[in-house]
Amino acid sequence: MFSGLNKKIKDILPKQLFYRGLLIVALPIIILQFTISVVFFDSLWIKTNKGMTRALVAEVKTFIDAYDKEESDKKFLIELYKDNLGFEITYHEDSIFKKDSVERWFSPVDRSLRRELKSKNFNYSFNTTKYKKNINLKIKYKDGFFQFYIPRERLTTSSARLFGLWITLPAILMISIAIIFLKNQTRPIIKLAEASEKFGRGEEIEEFRPSGALEIRKAGYEFDRMRKRIIRHLNQRSEMLSGISHDLRTPLTRIKLQLELIEDKKISKKLSEDVDEMQKMLNDYLQFASSGVQEKTETFNLTELIEETMQKYNRANINFSEKNKIHFSGRKNLIQRCINNFIDNSLKYGNKINVKLEKLKNNLFIFIEDDGPGIPESEYENVFKPFYKVSKGRADAKSSVGLGLSISSDIVRSHGGKIELSKSSLGGLKVKISLPS
């Protein structure tokens, strides 16, 4: 029960730190202002309004009673109320009394006035909206009616508006200051997240300068130190593999020259095949080492890139089904190398290849299917490990070192994507590459 309620509350609450912080600051202010407003209107304004209305109706009642008993000078009584109380009173004798009240049920002023007039058993009609400064009140009297024009301030006070203004302005000011403060506090976190995202995709970022609160700066310093250690480690790995590969090329070249001098061509051919295999391995090592080299991110036409790759193979058995222009922001050469690796692998073990490109919402999908022998499902994760070979089936060639899929996996992951393997509709392997658009 409580877990379900907790989940619903989490779904309603904002997800971003800025809005959560703003909610923590603004919600108590709003609740406090609402509570004060309710207490003010209930305890002060409404009660004051009731008292003023009761006094006003009592004065009207007093006037009617005095007018009823006065026989000599009724005009003096009307003038007396006008001079001392500000009432404009007119008696319409022998006039038909019509109720043309415009009573607002939602108005506390109208409700109080209606309640007090009923308590005095008046046959009445009033309008509080027709005039800006006066209230129009009619009271039935004998064969006619009294017309009262009463100053509005006798019935209600303007302190409610002033109170609302004074209580709203500080709240708006405090929330505005909180928004500015929270923006300044969350900006360093956003910058740190953007830098982490770029570095995770393998993009080159400028020197990161931590800012903000002490804890945020500490996290920024630690991220920068970690970034430099990772870059140093990747450079050392690349330099080591490049150095080893370069050093081995010299003796291989000498061996090739010496093989040309051997008179037994059969032995020379076998040894040359071994040397070519070693040369291929060295090239794979160099390709694996260069996969960590920094390359600038650019926006390019992914459809044209795949079409250009297809044209290089010049094979009729390679089909590409997407012709719409789809653009992608990434490292163009690395993406091309990744696609080349998968197509080379498919051509090595299959005859027919289907390549498909799709864009769905915020993701791009590249599908590569072939009709080869496929890969056992238990080996789907292992084939992406460096130097790993499947014992039977697709990766059985001598020239393979087991780095092609590992390089492709690193390239896709560095762009924030992933690779999934499955059974192809052609009977072989289906490769699904998903990239964020």
- pLDDT tens digits, 227-286: 888 888 877 777 776 777 777 777 777 777 777 777 777 777 777 777 777 777 777 666
Following DSSP, what letter does each residue of 315-367 receive, concatenated?
-TTEEE---S--EEEE-HHHHHHHHHHHHHHHHHH-S-EEEEEEEETTEEEEE
48-68: per-residue pLDDT in tens?
778 888 888 898 888 888 888
- Superfamily classification of domain 2-157: Sensor histidine kinase RisS, periplasmic domain (3.30.450.300)
- Dihedral of alpha carbons 150, 155, 158, 164, sign: negative
Please compute, for residue 31, the number of CA atoms within 13 A of its CA located in the half-sphere on the CB side: 6
Share of the chain above pLDDT 70, in %: 85
How far CA 32 is from CA of 23, 46, 164, in Å, comes to 14, 20, 13
Residues in CB range of 127: below 8 A, 6 or more apart: 100, 101, 102, 135, 136
Lowest mean pLDDT among 90-104, 114-128, 381-395: 381-395
Q: Please tell me whether residue 426 adopts helix, strand or coil conformation.
A: coil
Q: Give CA–CA dist 255/250, Å, rounded.
A: 9
pLDDT tens readout for residues 340-358: 888 888 888 888 888 888 8
The sheet carrying 124-127 orders its strands as 88-92, 144-151, 134-141, 124-127
pLDDT score for 3: 58
Residue 94 has pLDDT above 60, yes or no: yes
Nearest to 182 by CA among 211, 221, 212: 212
What CATH number belongs to 298-436?
A: 3.30.565.10
Under 8 Å between Cβ of 318 and 353? yes
The yes or no reply on domain 195-294 and CATH 1.10.287 is: yes
Q: Which tops the pLDDT comparison, 300 or 102?
A: 300
Q: What is the mean pLDDT of the chain?
A: 79
CA torsion angle 410 411 413 414 (round to 10): 110
Q: Sketch the domain layout of the chain as residue ranges.
A: 2-157, 195-294, 298-436
Q: pTM for the complete prediction? A: 0.53
Q: What percent of the chain has pLDDT over 90?
A: 1
Which amino acid is residue 108, in one-letter code? P
